[in-house]
Every structure is written in structure tokens, then in C-alpha cells.
Amino acid sequence: MSPAESKKRPPGSGTSKGSSVAAFPGRTPRSSQPTPGPKEPRERKGDPRTGDPTAQRADRRAASGCLWDACAALLSSHAEPEALERALDALRRAFDCDGVALHARSSEGVFEPWCARGDWERTPGDLREAMGVPLFCGRERVGALDLLARQGQRWRPEQISLVRTASGALGAALGVRLELDHLRRQPGRDPITGLADARTFHHRLVEEMGRAEQSGQPLAVVTIDLDFFAAINDKFGDATGDQVLTECALVLRLALREGDFVARVGGDEFGVLLPDCDLAPARRLAERLRHALEGHRFPRVGTLSASAGVASAPRDGMDPSELLGAAERALGLAKKAGRHRTAASGPTQTH
């Protein structure tokens, strides 16, 4: 277990018995059974009409920003529990409702309240609309989002649309976090990030290379390294450095396609296998991964930069060690060129 994981939790943020999900201060107990997803309401007399389209677009952009803040908070709430509370408060304003509650699936498969914000206490006769939305990661149900409307409010179509977007994004972020929290305790997994370790990565590389050779399809390898990571450990300590690595794993998993494979191959370096992917699309995906890492805000540390190297088979060879070596050399080129960039194997391939 890493120092970050063994660090004592602040009062009121302990875990429930047998649960891998952290609870947060001020949560409101709710039913452990999520309610069915929302249905599109019919327009009824007295519903507010749409206003200025420019104002609506601005509101939607602001609401989308709140949504991504909430997703980022899900990735960092181990180190910064208050971030999730602030993010749910922002979602409550974005949804224009009185209450937002998030439920997550525990290790026993029970949906437990994780964080609730707003006024959920009701007086007799105070009847209002509510919405329960299941959260899925792929086909797996990982949580639920409950919303409480304002008094006299009916859900508007634009609210329904935003909630649908939120359910997909929040479900993906929550599902990846729960999965990696579970996998870090399994053999062949890195105990800090939950990703595959270096040995498992090399075994998978050999397997994928064999498939590529038989099918004649390309295979790409991406190596990603955090710039000046040693300075983070020196300035903030190893526990903060471990938390940065944990969040990097979550960010990378969310940015990758289904079927891609990511591992922590050593220190602050991550390796990615991209089946059926040639050099040009692999370089574009490496840029997307790098921008995803650089766009994430890490608690205490802030933002970071990253460098990436890309190689592909058969262009750079059909031997697993040769292909990985080409990706490592490309990463070295990116570092020598000033960091904060992606380099591909071969001459003049840095940008």
C-alpha cells in the first residue's frame, strides 16, 4: 500500500464497513436502491418557454464546465474530498435544482450514498418532482444520480438533455475509479495506480505482436512520461507523488478507446498498446492523452506537462523489444527537444 493510501482520512470521511467507496461530510442518507432513469416530459400548459438562444448557449457552456469539474473531482476526491462537494454544488446550479445526490456501488455490489448537496429535508405536503438516473460504465451499472427539483418546477427539455450528458460522463469516471481501486489489490497490477505493471505490459505486448503478425494489422506503442516528476516528490513528498500517479492512471483510462491497453511501466512512465493502429493515428491519440494529462488539475500540485513517444509495427520492426525500444527512443527525442510534446520514431517527427 502506498503512503497516500495509508494516510489517515480526515474526520467524517471514513469508509463504510466493507466498502471501497469513501463517504464525504454532510452526506444525506438515501435509499440504497437507485431509481429508474428519467423519462422525457411532455410539454404542459404553464411550462416556461425557451428564451434568448444566445443566453441558452452560454448557460449550457457554463453547465458543461460544471459537469467536467464534477468528473475531475471524482478522480481526485481521495486526496481532496471537498472537491466533490464543490462540484456537486456546481452541478446543482447547472441543473437548476434544489438537491443533487451521488450514489456509488460498494465492493459488495450495494449502492451506497456517497455525497449529497442541497436541501433534501422536506416538510409534509411539500411535493415536488425528483429524478433518479442510473450511472453506467459501459454496460455495468456503477452508481446513481438523484436530483430534486425546486418547488413548483417542472423539468425542462434542456435540463433533461444536460442530465443525460452528465450521466454518461459521471458514469465513465466513477466506473474507472471503482475498477482501478479494486484492481490495485490484484496480482499483476501496480499497487499505486491499479494499472497493469511492467511485467504484465511486456506479456501483453508479446501477445499483441503475435496477433498483429498473423492478421497483418499494425500495432502501435505509446510511452508517456511526466515532466519533472522528481521535483514533485522532492517538494510535496512521496504521498502526493503517488496520488498524482493514481490520478494520471484514471485520466489515461478515460481518454483511451475500449480495447486499448495501458500500464505503469516504471516510475512516472506509462505504456499504451494500440491494436490495429498505425503511426499517424497513434501519434494523434498520444497527443490527446498528453493534453488530457496536462488539462487535469492535481490537488496541491496544480497542472503538469507530459512528453510522449510513439512507434508502430511493422514500420519499426516486428520484435516486441525492438518496437518498445523505438517508442522509448522517440520519448527521449521529445525530452531532448524541450519536453511538453510528442515525438514519433524516425527523423523530424517531433511536434
pLDDT digits (tens, 9 = 90+) for 225-245: 999 999 999 999 999 999 999
Query: Are residue 24 and residue 151 in the same domain, yes or no?
Result: yes
Q: Are 165 and 145 contacting, i.e. CB atoms less than 8 angstroms apart? A: no
Distances (CA, A) of 225 to 38, 154, 211, 340: 42, 49, 27, 10
From 183, 208, 243, give the residue that closes a domain: 183
CATH (domain of 335): 3.30.70.270
Task: Retrieve residue 351's grid coordinates.
Answer: 511536434
Question: Tens digit of pLDDT per residue, the chain (351 long)?
Answer: 444 444 444 443 333 334 333 333 343 344 444 444 444 433 333 344 445 556 555 555 555 556 666 676 666 656 566 777 877 888 888 888 899 999 988 878 888 888 889 888 878 888 888 999 999 988 889 889 999 999 888 888 888 888 888 888 888 888 888 888 888 778 899 999 999 999 999 999 999 999 999 999 999 999 999 999 999 999 999 999 999 999 999 999 988 988 899 999 999 999 999 999 999 999 999 999 999 999 988 888 999 999 999 999 999 999 999 999 999 999 999 999 999 999 998 754 555
The answer to whether residue 122 sits within a structural domain is yes
Q: Give the type of residue at 59.
A: D
166 and 215 together in one domain: no
Q: Domain of 223?
A: 198-344
Domain match, 133 and 212 both: no
Same domain, 39 and 139: yes
**Residue 80 phi/psi, 5° resolution?**
-140, 75
| Secondary element (H or E) of residue 31 | none
Whether residue 279 sits in one domain with residue 158? no
Task: Compute CA distances 170 → 72, 134, 138, 142, whole Å.
Answer: 9, 10, 12, 10
Residue 114 placed within a domain:
yes
Element (H, E) at 201: helix 198-215
CA distance 184 to 23: 20
Question: Would 193 be classed as within a structural domain?
Answer: no
Helix, strand, coil: what percent of the chain each, to 5? 40, 20, 40
Same domain, 203 and 176: no
- 189 within domain boundaries: no
Phi, psi of 135 (to 5 degrees): -110, 125
The span from the CA of 225 to the CA of 335, in Å, is: 9
* Same domain, residue pair 179 and 247: no
The answer to whether position 107 is within a domain reads yes
Q: pLDDT for 26-60, tens place per residue?
A: 433 444 444 444 444 333 333 444 455 565 555 55
Distances (CA, A) of 201 to 182, 191, 261: 19, 15, 8
